[in-house]
Amino acid sequence: MSVDKAIEGGGRDAALAAQISSQAVPRRALGDLFFRGLTGFTAIFLLSVLIAIGVALWREGWDAFRTFGFGFLWSTAWNPVTDQYGALIFIFGTLVSSLLAMLMAVPVSFGIALFISELAPHWLRQPISSAIELLAGIPSIIFGMWGLLVFAPVFGNMEPWINGHLGKIPGVGLLFQGPPMGIGMLTAGIVLGIMIIPFISAIMRDVFLSTPGILKESAYALGGTTWEVMRHVVLPFTRTAVVGSIFLGLGRALGETMAVTFVIGNTDSLSASLLMPGNSIAAALANEFTEATTHLYKSSLLALGFILFVVSFLVLVLAKFMLWRMEKRIGGGAL
Amino acid sequence: MISLYQRRRFWNIFNMSMATLATLFGLFWLVWILWTTLSYGFSALHPALFTENTPPPGVDGGGLKNAFVGSLILISLAVAIGAPLGILAGTWLGEFAVRRRFGSVVRFFNDILLSAPSIVIGLFVYAIIVHPLGQFSAISGAIALALIMIPVVVRTTDEMLQLVPSTLREAAIALGVPYWRLVTQITWRAAGAGILTGVLLATARISGETAPLLFTALNNQFYSTSLDRPIANLPVVIFQFAMSPYQNWQAMGWAGALIATLAVLALSIVSRLIIKGKTKGGA
């Protein structure tokens, strides 16, 4: 309305026009201010969720931390009957199963990324990328179910062989003792590894493909083989991002619940053997939460959740920083 | 004697073969998992699945009706909560905070939230809603799923808005359009397909989420649509049935797994087609 007035006024009176426009501007700005405020508020809300997660889990787990002190972190006790709790079994299981998953997923993902970015003919690139991404789309509960009902029986048949051969090696053999049950730490590591392959390989593929063509072409022009170009040009150029992608995969592996819960065996005891059942933080939470009757039991489980949150948060922050450095580098005129 | 040339050739061929093998290895698991889900799932498909509720242990027959309905309720509620919030926050990032330091901070934490373990989100919602109210409920499950969905929507909205050419914005500003109308009527429309893709991908992601529902919506053996009580849902029912020793439960679990997988894959394929059609039309 004030805009119409300004047009009618036709700028006859400078003072009037100034007055009108000073009315007009706030009216327009109000809509902008509201919109900006609304969107900005949701963005801040988003930021606060992450902080709130940490605070809420710390508060809920506080009773466990207060009762058991720092000893909670390295106590192997986990006994609902006597109300004694310690996190070590679960921290150990989470770390070992994730480590096994990484041992399997990192080389395979690297191979897949190398194949897609350097080897595959152009027409094959997209189908293979899509297929691997399809693997990422399958819900984790399907991995778990398949792991328990299909993979574990097959793997259980292979375990006597593992026992007989790898188990005989002095030292290392200790890792491969135990009854052939099909489920256990190693099975969990394998299923977890299959699950995170698509996440790691997708990022590796992207960063490999982002290496400036001119660098690769120069190396090829000097007579380098595909592997040498990969090893001495592409890898050094993308090193931080490659490590970042590995950490991102690790972040996924640490917190993955369903795929692990089905196959890790859920035994609250420590064992050096990878064929023995164990437990992880996420699996313990999924299995025991609804059964936790005492207050301290529940609090201990939530304290486990807090530990998982802190560890995966740190891993993800590290991953993100490394990937960002790479982004900056590519954005910084290299391309 | 092996020449340097031969050695280099050998390592090249060796490593390239390993890369090809790694790809086949990855595809092998994909085929195995999909094939099992399809074959076990299809053989367990039955019309009663959609008309009867989950059976008690040891009883033959029954279906997954309550789980399907529950999952639909949870997912629609989560989308209704998560999509608007995600789009608004993403709009702030993509329109108002492209080069601002605080924008980078929000983007950074959003990416962390995006990869954060979903079980932790479930525990969080348990701590702030279920515990104070003293009751597992459908609405808390929907909130947990919404929290998992939001970062995905934020990220795609942000990226898609940044792809909108700035000339479009400048043209609108030159015409004297207020910024909020510029965003709602021009850039949102220009980036619409991309934003929709983000919402669909996020929906696909939450459709299979199980872990957060264990602490929030829990499960219900009976048909229920009330939001303040525990509600049956497909992922938790699959979890329960697959872990059980009963044959008919396991079979029903496979049927549920098949339907969940097909739904998730259909969503991600549709979203891919939208993006593809858009980029083709744009080019």
Q: Are A77 and A86 in contact (CB under 8 A)?
A: yes
Q: Are B54 and B237 in contact (CB under 8 A)?
A: yes
Q: Is A27 helix (H, G, I), strand (E, B) or coil?
A: helix
Q: How far apart are CA A262 and CA A277, in angstroms?
A: 11
Q: Is A257 helix (H, G, I), strand (E, B) or coil?
A: coil
Question: Rounded to a whole number, what is the distance in Å from the CA of B163 to chain A's nearest CA?
Answer: 15
Residue of B36, B89, B239 with shortest CB distance to A39: B89
The domain segmentation of chain A, as residue ranges, is 28-332
Confidence at residue B271, expressed as pLDDT on a 0 to 100 scale: 87
**Residue located via tokens 């200790």:** A174
Confidence at residue A334, expressed as pLDDT on a 0 to 100 scale: 36
Confidence at residue A335, expressed as pLDDT on a 0 to 100 scale: 33
Residue of A46, A254, A302 with shortest CB distance to B150: A46
Confidence at residue B281, expressed as pLDDT on a 0 to 100 scale: 46
Chain B CA closest to residue A34: B180
How many interchain CB pairs under 8 A, A with B?
A: 256
Could you report the per-residue pLDDT of B122-165, keeping only the tens digit for each?
999 999 999 999 899 999 999 999 999 999 999 999 999 999 99
Confidence at residue A182, expressed as pLDDT on a 0 to 100 scale: 84
Residues 174-203 of A with CB under 8 A from B: 194, 197-198, 201
| CB-CB under 8 Å, B106 with A317 | no
Q: Which of the two residues, A334 and B265, has the higher pLDDT score?
A: B265
What's the mean pLDDT in B27-43? 94
Could you report the per-residue pLDDT of B44-100, keeping only the tens digit for each?
998 888 999 998 887 888 889 999 999 999 999 999 999 999 999 999 999 998 888
| CB-CB under 8 Å, A254 with B123 | no
Which percentage of chain B shows pLDDT scores above 90? 74
Using a cut of 0.95, tell me whether the model's pTM lies above it: no
Determine contact: A249 vs chain B, CB below 8 A: no
What's the mean pLDDT in B2-19? 91
| CB-CB under 8 Å, B37 with A139 | no
Q: How far apart are CA A196 and CA B19, in angstroms?
A: 17
Confidence at residue A181, expressed as pLDDT on a 0 to 100 scale: 79
Count, residues in chain B: 283
Taking each helix axis from N to C end, the angle separating A2-9 and A14-68, rounded to the nearest 10 degrees, works out to 150
The complex's ipTM works out to: 0.92
Question: Is A28-332 in CATH node 3.40.50.10320?
Answer: no
Q: Are B198 and B274 in contact (CB under 8 A)?
A: no
Could you report the per-residue pLDDT of B166-199, keeping only the tens digit for each?
999 999 999 989 999 999 999 999 999 999 999 9
Q: How far apart are CA A255 and CA A282, in angstroms?
A: 6
| CB-CB under 8 Å, B120 with A53 | yes
- What would you report as the CA-atom Rg of chain B, rounded to the nearest whole angstrom? 24
Question: Counting Cβ atoms within 10 Å, is residue B101 exposed (0-12), middle (13-18) or buried (19+)?
Answer: exposed
| CB-CB under 8 Å, B91 with A50 | no
Q: Tens-of-pLDDT digits for all 335 residues of chain A?
A: 344 444 444 444 555 554 555 555 556 678 888 999 999 999 999 889 999 999 999 999 999 999 998 889 988 888 888 888 999 999 999 999 999 999 999 999 999 999 999 999 999 998 999 888 888 889 999 999 999 999 999 998 888 888 888 877 877 777 887 777 788 899 999 999 999 999 999 999 999 999 999 999 999 999 999 999 999 999 999 999 999 999 999 999 999 999 999 999 888 888 888 888 889 999 999 999 988 888 999 999 999 999 999 999 999 999 998 988 887 777 643 33
